[in-house]
Chain A
Amino acid sequence: MDQLDMHTNASMRKRLRADKRFKLYGLAAISFALAFLVFFFVDIIGKGAPAFQQAEIQVTVHYSEAAINNYNKAVDKEYKHLVSKAWLRLVPNQIAGKPELLGQDYEEWVLAENSVDQYLKGHEGHRLKEKNQRLVDQMKTDGKVRLVFNSGFFNSGDSKLPENAGILAAAIGSVMVLLLTMLFAVPVGVMTAIYLEEFAPDNRLTQVIEVNINNLAAIPSILYGLLGLAIFINVMGAPRSSALVGGLTLALMTLPVIIIATRAALRSVPEPIREAAYGLGASSLQVVWHHVLPLAMPGILTGSIIGLAQAMGETAPLLIVGMMAYIPDAPGSIFEATTVLPAQIYTWSSESVRAFEERTAAGIMVLLTVLLTMNAIAVKFRNRSENTW
């Protein structure tokens, strides 16, 4: 008897241990995912945060005749390699704009070269020459070097010089593309969902459309790029790299997301509401327009925001339609060559200069902030809309 007890106890203990282990596996899986998330954010912020500061140095600027012809002469020779070319090349223009500057010398804070910037931030691979390092150290003790908030990152476009490269053009491009996507995908998606959910007869065609939408949702985004290239650009002759092509391509990609979310939202509106409206003599369109749609609105908004956030972070189809060109200025219209934030991040990440890595991470921080905010808003909407009927 005792022996049997001991035996069952032993096997029971074993089973309980297995039970605990199993729960631990689950906990470990979640912890791994969350630990990765923390590691990821720490890494990106650690890489990107320094980019929000930019080195400036104080030098004497000579607004001389010589500087008009050769802007390198605007500063003393030894500082030539410390001052950013992006600033220097503007000197002749400045003199042309304000002739009274000519012949004057000013002590000014000017944008530093990226190697100086990287050296000051203590990054390896700054590529600042030994001689110039000593000079910068000297200037530092004289208080002629400072790190200031990098406003240029937000109010200038792309540049081949890292210290001058900013996200403005890409941000404007992103807004344009996203607006186009929204104007096309949201109405068409909502209308499709209304048709399928409220009007469509249950026949072959409707089934084909439904299966088709589920398939579209699973098609890799890059294939939408092939569609954009072959149909919009090669057949319809829309300008390559333009916001128009990018926006339409992304709209087609977002469409299934919006349709599926809208259908779910419409389905969650209880049937008695429709029946009550019909009972009062409303037509089918009036039922949808006056009763079902307003009640489904929070769900539709959630789905649309999530779909648009996805579109905003998407890069692959845009590379295929050519939106990875070097675009220093914000586009003037939807027909001009445009770049978007993710594409800008991609082009910067393939630059070899170390200073670009910092900018890439900073660009990622901006993009993630926008996207996570959009998703948070969507989740808020969803939580608020979880009506219990």
Chain B
Amino acid sequence: MLYSDLFFWLFGGLIPLAITAFMVARSKALSTEQDGARLHSRTGYYGWYAVIWLATPAVVSGLVFSITHMLGLFTVPAPMLLATMFTLGCAGLVYSLGHIKVEFRAREKVETFARAMFILAASISILTTLGIVLSVVFESVAFFRVISFWDFITGTKWEPDTAFLIGAGRDTAGMTPPAFGSVPIFAGTFMITGIAMLVAVPIGLFSAIYMSEYASHTARGRLKPMLEILAGIPTVVYGFFAAITISPLIVKAATLFGLEADYTNALAPGLIMGIMIIPFMSSLSDDVINAVPQALRDGSLALGTTKSETIRHIVLPAAFPGIVSAFLLAISRAIGETMIVVMAAGLRPNLTANPLEGVTTVTVKIVEALTGDQEFDSAFTQSAFALGFVLLFITLILNIVSTIVVRKFKQRYE
């Protein structure tokens, strides 16, 4: 029996069985009521109670078996697994049917169970964070055992090619040791992020100001969804557009000015990333500008200022913390953006200040290290997790700072 068959039987089997259990238990409850007694709960709750008793033992036993299989303790053949689950489920069902009596409080049991399921669901998001942190930290620790953390943070040479050979056990004496200096990679990341911000912040902010302060209600209703289209375009599409359309344009424009540009220049992904972030920036700023109390505007206008003076000297300073937080979130977006840079930026780490040269970024290096056919345990693949660790760290810091800033802002006007 294949994996897939097992899956099919599990879900294909559980659902009809659950429906049967529901019907059986409810009809039993109904027949109890027919004798003149009134049950504590409505009959449907007895049905749900039976379903819980059927499904929980079956699913739990299935989970236990899969965990033991995963940990390599022991593996049960698939038919036996299914049989166990079926038996346990039926036993649960029979047990629950015995409970259907007048004084039995089925609704309370079902509600307690539902509440437990809600808590379980809420804990998944915690487990996700834990999973991300653990997966990144574990491999990073293994990486930093080989490469010193200081070299990783301050080194300016990223030459991991030989790590792959060492990982394969083919290290020869005269070989240069692999170098994992991440400075050029982060420099590239920050350069592209910087270009993106130069595009996104003025355009996003001015769009937000125009839409919230100048545009009529109908114009705003039309413009906003149009801007949001920019946010709905997948990054792989932006990447294609940056690489195929924008990059050659930039190279042509550079030659026109007598400059030389690489096809993997930093400008193309930076510009496109900036455009991708415009709606993000504008909708966040829009929210905070709208949150500035109207009384402030009215007071300012009553003193005889022009509209733009009111916006510049009253509204924007009032909304400033919110705009800063939007800016920080936009930066964390740009740093973590992957497909645009994978497709349009370079692969070669390059420490330069010239945006017309090719640079590489953290996310490009992560993708490069993990999509090849290398051994998983080599320092080269582990370097991806170390880079991911730094990426996670930066994003979390940015996010926490922006949350604090926003909270301060909210307190001021509530």
Interface residues of A (CB under 8 A from B): 15-16, 18-19, 21-23, 25-30, 32-34, 36-37, 40, 43-44, 47, 187-189, 191-192, 194-196, 199-200, 208-209, 211-216, 218-227, 229-231, 234-237, 252, 255-256, 259, 283-285, 309, 312-316, 319-320, 322, 324, 332-335, 342-343, 345-346, 349-350, 357, 360-361, 364, 367-368, 371-372, 375, 379
Contacts and interface: CB of A to CB of B under 8 A. Distances in A.
B392 A223 contact: yes
Contacts of A27: 210, 214
A319 B207 CA distance: 34
Main secondary structure of the interface of B (DSSP, over half): helix
B294 to A, nearest CB: 19
22 contacts: A15-B309, A19-B307, A29-B207, A30-B227, A33-B227, A44-B241, A188-B124, A192-B125, A209-B126, A212-B126, A215-B129, A215-B399, A218-B396, A221-B336, A223-B388, A231-B131, A313-B235, A316-B367, A319-B338, A335-B7, A342-B339, A364-B237
Contacts of A368: 233-234, 237
A226 B241 contact: no
Interface stretch (B15-23, B30-38, B112-120, B259-267): B112-120
Interface residues of B, number: 93
A312 B172 CA distance: 46
Interface in B207-243: 207, 209-211, 213-214, 223, 225-230, 232-237, 239-241, 243
A229 B370 contact: yes
A152 to B, nearest CB: 22
Interface of B: 3-4, 7, 70, 107, 110-111, 114-115, 117-119, 121-126, 128-129, 131-132, 134-136, 138-139, 202-207, 209-211, 213-214, 223, 225-230, 232-237, 239-241, 243-245, 275, 278-279, 306-309, 311-312, 329, 332-333, 335-339, 342-343, 363, 366-367, 370-371, 376, 384-385, 388, 391-392, 395-396, 398-400, 403
Contact of A214 (B131, B204, B279, B399): B399
Contact of B210 (A26, A43, A379): A26
A286 to B, nearest CB: 8
Contacts of A19: 306-309
Contact of B275 (A33, A47, A319, A360): A33
Contacts of A342: 234, 236-237, 339
B210 A222 contact: no
A108 B269 CA distance: 47
A270 B115 CA distance: 22
B118 A220 contact: no
Nearest to B338: A316
B132 A224 contact: yes
B371 A195 contact: no
Nearest to A376: B225
A237 B72 CA distance: 11
A195 B121 contact: yes
Contacts of B329: 218
Given A19-B309, A226-B388, A209 B125 contact: yes
B244 A349 contact: yes
Given A231-B135, A350-B343, 13 more contacts: A18-B308, A26-B213, A30-B210, A44-B237, A195-B115, A220-B335, A220-B395, A224-B132, A234-B376, A332-B4, A345-B236, A349-B244, A368-B237
A334 B4 contact: yes
Contacts, number: 267
Nearest to A22: B308
Given A18-B306, A33-B207, A188-B124, A195 B118 contact: yes
A43 B241 CA distance: 9
A258 to B, nearest CB: 11
Nearest to B123: A209
Contacts of B363: 220, 222, 316
Contact of A40 (B213, B241, B337, B398): B241
Given A195-B122, A219-B132, A26 B209 contact: yes
Contacts of A25: 206
A33 B230 contact: yes
A214 B400 CA distance: 9
Contacts of A219: 132, 336, 392, 395-396
A223 B384 CA distance: 10
B236 A215 contact: no
Nearest to A185: B124
Contact of B207 (A26, A195, A215, A334): A26
Contacts of A194: 118
